[in-house]
Amino acid sequence: MPDTNNPLLAEWTSPCEVPPFNDITPEHFPEAFDRSIEVYRQEIADIAAESETPSFDNVIAALERSGRQLDRVATVFFNLSGADTNDRLQEIERQITPRLAKLHSETYLNSALFRRVDALFSRHKSLELTAEQDRVLERYHTIFIRAGARLDDAAKTRMAEIAERLAELATRFAQNVLADEKHFRLVLESEADLAGLPEFLRRAAATSAEDLGLTGKHVITLARSSIEPFLQFSERRDLREKVFEAWANRGAMAGKTDNRPLIPQMISLRHERAQLLGFETFAQFKLDDMMAKTPEAVRKLLMDVWRPARERAQQERDALQSMVQSEGGNFDLAPWDWRHYAAKVRKAEHDLDEAEIKPYFQLDQIIAAAFETANRLFGLTFKPRNDIPLYHPDVRAWDVFGAEGQAIGLFLGDYFARPSKRSGAWMNAFRLQEKMDGDIRPIIVNVLNVVKGGEGQPTLLSFEDARTVFHEFGHALHGLLSDVTYPLISGTNVPSDYVELPSQLYEHWLLQPEILHRFARHAETGEAIPDDLLERLIAARNFNMGFQTVEYLASAIVDLDFHEALPEASADPETHEAAALARIDMPAAIIMRHRIPHFLHIFAGDGYSSAYYSYMWSEVMDADAFRAFKETGDIFDPATAERLYTHIYSSGGKYDPAEAYKAFRGRMPAIDALLEERGLDVKQG
């Protein structure tokens, strides 16, 4: 029977069965986890002890149905811990993550359970399974083996210890970065401190100050949408350096939030786990289950793009240094100068000024543009919901309907930066789509960190912020349009070097005149973006591309380097980082997009460890995929959109990613489309 005293365990009667956020407090989670873990352990014990001959239904389908109560509790908890945390939630997170890691090990190192999975897999060709069932069985078998199910008892014990410790360290790593971000603030006290800042940035900084109880002042926080425009516009080089150093050194500040002691431990534990499983390095282990397959394939892609990108970045650096000197500056360009002088060079070369562009990119209009694109591609419509309990007043909800008017799911948007939210942008699911026991529709959330406009003022975006809205909504569509039976392969449950394809592909529609003419409208006049400004914006789309590519690639290369090297190389993470950058001749005026001490993608969990290259791997596909639309002469070509829906957005993990892409495009992509999109002309090495 449901527990009506704990809303996490009770039946959810909210509209769309949304979690009852109005009733949930942090104190409900410990009991909910305790009881849900107990239920899940019993479910697994029953599956493992089943006396009937292993079948898809009594093994795989049973595994898919197990843990649903725990999944429900954990999904709510981890969404909140990322998007709206507090001290109590963080305390619970430190306690629960190692327990869940231990539970995962108990399940996938369960010898009796694996014997049933293995026996079933050994005769899967004779079982007359559907293609989807065969795929789910294969994935479960792989997951068990990669967890260590074939190891001896001593090795299994060690694997479980490693998993539990890694979970502890990953939680500490993420919380340390959030603490550094939360506690930094650059208070601008005088008009001199505000020198160069346009009105939109002053308003945003004043709003940030009000949120922090500093009414009448202006505050720059470590939200990217606060820092980047400040670095771009501020004429105060000393303040630019101060805020940049705080941003670059998150996780590397002496004291209790220092992540540098944690990194060698994590690298060593990952390496040990890989070797227990028969791999030489963690990178080999991780990539063996990805599209790329090998570190060599990844490194070749990264270095093929690194060479032209670095050359372009050096040319850009020279142009910026000339601008410094033309203004009488007697200093070498530093990382905190790059965005400032890049804006001036872009103004000189393309007559583009962010202060001129930004009023045309209102958050609400860009959301509407993302919805319109989904309508023209897939026939979706979106209707606001105001009757649903949500976890923060800033969160919004929309019902999503298909081309025939059928309910598809619920979409939530959480766009504004706040101290209780970790940095970055992401998509999560409060509920996955599945059809095992009825048509379960998804609840998907996009979380961003845009600086909110002032009272009564629209929230204005940089073009990069607008691109992020489209990117994350591409992920959201991957979850919303999912049309599979089994949760294991629902939505974005695909390899990370494939999961970025739907999101990065979606970005392409943002810069199309058909979209911008309609939705890029001035915040004050309502007028559409002028043709000449749109032409200048499109012409400058690859401006500063060397810089953008280098800062990303450096992070991907260093990630791979850390996970290919022997653990002792990481004893001093910053020294290892510097040595890796020296090997690729990193330009002095650019730093990694994510330095190792705050590299959440690879250390706040395992998703992108050895796999930050995934964005570039997927970009090869997304550039080629958008070509498929351009080749038809219609960026919303119905036949191409139908193939995109069928083989990419709706198929989840039903198919091998390479086969899914070939079904859409007819072939695998080549790197030339990516290089063309980035404006990097190159002779491949």
CATH number at residue 22: 1.20.1050.40
Q: Check if the beta carbon of residue 114 is closer than 8 Å to that of residue 144.
A: yes
Q: What does the pLDDT read at residue 4?
A: 67
- Conformational region of residue 91, where left means phi above 0, alpha means psi within -120 to 50, and beta covers everything else: alpha
Q: Check if the beta carbon of residue 233 is closer than 8 Å to that of residue 354.
A: yes
According to DSSP, residue 190 is labeled: S
Distance of alpha carbon 508 from alpha carbon 517, whole angstroms: 15
Distance of alpha carbon 402 from alpha carbon 277, whole angstroms: 45
Question: Do the domain assignments include residue 157?
Answer: no
Q: Are 397 and 521 within one domain?
A: yes
Distance of alpha carbon 13 from alpha carbon 16, whole angstroms: 8
* Res 185 pLDDT > 70: yes
Return the bridge partners of 218, or none. Answer: 188
* Res 685 pLDDT > 60: no
* Res 590 pLDDT > 70: yes
Q: Are 76 and 205 within one domain?
A: no
* Res 684 pLDDT > 50: no
Q: Check if the beta carbon of residue 401 is closer than 8 Å to that of residue 433.
A: no
Q: Are 77 and 215 within one domain?
A: no
Tokens in use for 176? 């340390």
Enter the pTM of the model. 0.95
User: DSSP readout, 79-107?
Assistant: HHHHHS--HHHHHHHHHHHHHHHHHHHHH
- Domain range for residue 224? 184-248
Q: Are 446 and 512 within one domain?
A: yes
Q: Are 236 and 136 within one domain?
A: no
Distance of alpha carbon 65 from alpha carbon 309, whole angstroms: 48
Per-residue pLDDT reduced to its tens digit, 187-225: 999 999 999 999 989 999 999 999 889 999 999 999 888
Distance of alpha carbon 156 from alpha carbon 138, whole angstroms: 22
Per-residue pLDDT reduced to its tens digit, 233-292: 999 999 999 999 999 999 999 899 999 999 999 999 999 999 999 999 999 999 999 999
Domain final position from 479, 499, 528: 528
Question: Do the domain assignments include residue 382?
Answer: yes
- Count the neighbouring beta carbons within 10 Å of the beta carbon of residue 514: 13
Using DSSP's 3-state secondary structure scheme, residue 521 falls into strand
Q: Using pLDDT thresholds of 50, 70 and 90, give the confidence band for residue 353.
A: confident
CATH code at position 488: 1.10.1370.40
Angle, in degrees to the nearest 10, between helices 463-480 and 496-507: 120
Q: What does the pLDDT read at residue 2?
A: 60
Report CA 348 to chain centroid distance, whole Å.
34
Q: Are 404 and 499 within one domain?
A: yes
User: DSSP readout, 449-466?
Assistant: EEPPPPTT-PPB--HHHH
Domain final position from 528, 559, 586: 528
Phi first, then psi, for residue 450 (nearest 5°) are: -85, 140
The mean pLDDT of 566-577, rounded to a whole number, is: 95
Question: Do the domain assignments include residue 494?
Answer: yes
Per-residue pLDDT reduced to its tens digit, 379-425: 999 999 999 999 999 999 999 999 999 999 999 999 999 989 998 99
Q: Are 142 and 213 within one domain?
A: no
Q: Which residues contact 263 (CB under 8 A, 6 or more apart)?
A: 570, 573, 596, 597, 603
Q: Are 142 and 192 within one domain?
A: no
Q: Are 38 and 116 within one domain?
A: yes
Counting Cβ atoms within 10 Å, is residue 570 exposed (0-12), middle (13-18) or buried (19+)?
buried
Tokens in use for 99? 């327990």
Catalytically annotated residue among 164, 472, 500, 507: 472
Q: Are 513 and 374 within one domain?
A: yes
- Count the neighbouring beta carbons within 10 Å of the beta carbon of residue 641: 20
Domain final position from 488, 511, 528: 528
Per-residue pLDDT reduced to its tens digit, 486-523: 999 999 999 999 999 999 999 999 999 999 999 999 99
Q: Using pLDDT thresholds of 50, 70 and 90, give the confidence band for residue 682.
A: very low
Number of domains in the chain: 3
Site of tokens 């990264």? 302
Q: Cite the DSSP H helix spans in 327-438.
A: 335-350, 354-357, 363-378
Q: Which residues contact 20 (CB under 8 A, 6 or more apart)?
A: 7, 10, 12, 13, 14, 389
Q: Are 192 and 127 within one domain?
A: no
Q: What does the pLDDT read at residue 224?
A: 86
Residues in the chain: 685
Q: What does the pLDDT read at residue 681?
A: 65
Question: Do the domain assignments include residue 447?
Answer: yes
Using DSSP's 3-state secondary structure scheme, residue 4 falls into coil
Q: Are 146 and 188 within one domain?
A: no
* Res 107 pLDDT > 80: yes
The answer to whether residue 500 is catalytic is: no
Q: Which of 310-319, 412-421, 451-460, 578-587 has the lowest mean pLDDT?
A: 451-460
* Res 37 pLDDT > 70: yes
Using DSSP's 3-state secondary structure scheme, residue 586 falls into coil
Distance of alpha carbon 305 from alpha carbon 265, whole angstroms: 32
Question: Do the domain assignments include residue 348?
Answer: no
- Tell me the average pLDDT of the chain: 95
Question: Do the domain assignments include residue 158?
Answer: no
Distance of alpha carbon 519 from alpha carbon 372, whole angstroms: 10
Question: Do the domain assignments include residue 500?
Answer: yes
Question: Do the domain assignments include residue 577?
Answer: no
Q: What does the pLDDT read at residue 680?
A: 86
